Structure 1
Amino acid sequence: MDEFTPDLDGFSGVISIRRGDDVLGEWAVGVANRTFDVPHTTETRFGLASGTKTFTAMTVLSVVGDGLLSLDTPARELLGPDLPLIADDVTIDHLLTHTSGIGDYLDEEVDALAPLTLPVQQLDSTPAYLPMLDGLPTKFRAGERFSYCNGGYVVLAVIAERAAGAPFTELVANRVFAPAGMTASGFPRSDLLPPGTATGYKDDGRTNVFELPVVGSGDGGAHSTVADLHRFWVALRAGRLLPRELVESALETTTADAGDGRGYGRGVWLEEGDLVIAGGDHGVTAVSRHDRSTGITVSALANIEVATFARTREAMQRIRERVGGAE
């Protein structure tokens, strides 16, 4: 085990370090399915939880690029009579930057792992989330401050569907996954996971099938691999997903410190010069960190709740010292 092997103690999943077409290091530990003792491989698919928000943001920005929306479009224009407690001045950009102030069905400032208010099996499409998003009073005036909002990204999914005239999961597949070459990524049903997909496990050993929506939407539920996440960063920065000005819009700092010293762009966390996808939920932990200067991607995907931010940060620091240089 060389000095650049990341911390694997207590980890169950895959950690990957890539640059361009090169795999600089990859480690698969633990099992994807405990019942049948199926080990993880470097090609295992994992749930991304809130890492999905990055793909939601890119999908919405793609719809903006087509002229079907603008960042200044009021959400109300697409919502009509639905979700009447969302204020008239809330825009697409407020939702993208977590500054909308709308009430959140899963408010992480209160309880990040609170149970859902609808049976998870009912949440099988983006429109099915509407009753869960309704009746939540405004927290603060739009644009006043950053407040991470899961529901805001489901609202973005609703808006994208209505603006582009297609189901949200199809929009992500056609506007993000396909052009990025992310052939192993998608929104599978939690009760019908495709082969090669990790089952998520809670701390008590039970699976997460009763904790999360059966089909994800704008704030969670996408599944991917370490290879596909690296492909995403490469495709985004190469301009294959969005026009150049919208790429820069996605990656610019909209909040300098959203907590723990991390900044936020539009669907992307910003930390120490890295672009970051991050998510965590019952039986899911996901972080993918990309260094713009070197083109290195460090991804850690797990099917348990385990610290990954520190692991990926330390791995990135070590590999930068080892390989150095710009892309």
Structure 2
Amino acid sequence: MTIRTLASTVAAAALVAATAASAEVDFSGETIEWVIPFSETGGSAKWANFFAPLLSEELPGNPTVVVKFMPGAGSTKGANWFQEQEHEDGTLMFGTSGSTQFPYLLGDPRVRYEYSDWVPVMASGTGGVAYLNAEDGKKFDGSANNLKDIDFIYGSQGATRLDLVPLLAWQMLGMNVEPVFGIKGRGDGRLMFERGEATIDYQTSSAYLGAAKDLVDAGTAVPMMTWGALDDDGNIVRDPTFPDIPTFKEVCEATEGCETSGEAWDAWKAFFIAGFPVQKIAFLPAGTPDDVRETYEAAFDAVRNRDDFAEIAAKRVGKYPVFVGEGAARATKEGTTVSADAKAFVTNWLQEAYGVSLN
């Protein structure tokens, strides 16, 4: 099943049930905490801050939805904390991203959370844009051929996080990119780039639209490539939010020595699919009763069906599908599954490239 097909899987009967449940649950006078396990400067922050007021308008009783941040250990700190939470009154949500999914997929020993214990109520896709500083950007011609002799610096949350996708892509292109590990969020990587401490960067779509695009408009950054999007047949095509920027697949095809087939490509594509088409997921804690879950599903369904949603989302989080109900559950499974071959390749690559052992 393709990601796009998932967007149409919510049955009409389920939505009727969710609407009925929402009439029985009332959050009047309540404050809902939406915990994000990253800093307030990154794409997850912008994603949650975009949806929070819209969710407030659609939940019964119009509660205040407050986004709170719990950065640390590339998001595993917050995810481990959420694993210990249980349902009390429906006023706690948690938001993950690919940087939370990847340590789980790779068996990172710091992971003490289990996605199947949580209750997904909304999932959405995103994209990503890699960009260069102005000086090096002048040498970019649609391929990485003129970039291979440059030593780049990149601010990274860690090689087992979502940064795995750009780091592997740049290596496949034959580029010399030295990561500086330990930043708390991709927004901190962008700040390093702005200060000249990093010379290459990437941001998810919401963060790129919210901040990095200003650098491009000012002439201090040059877009290099997106990771792309998936069509109905599972092929990588241009990102609908950035149709004028080539995909990594296109840049790879134009670059000497880069192959869009074989073990490296298959592994990169597998983790791209796990990390981006289903990139951000909103969860309720374990033990959440059906009426509360259905209330949230109905509210998020109302958000995505607003007459103005497509327009405002395109400007702030990009043009990507939003899944609710059964669609969110299936999307979550899609985003937390990779093949044994892809996992083995990446595990070996992490050891060889960065000395990262997950044993």
Structure with higher helix content: 2
Answer with 1 or 2: which has the greater Rg. 2
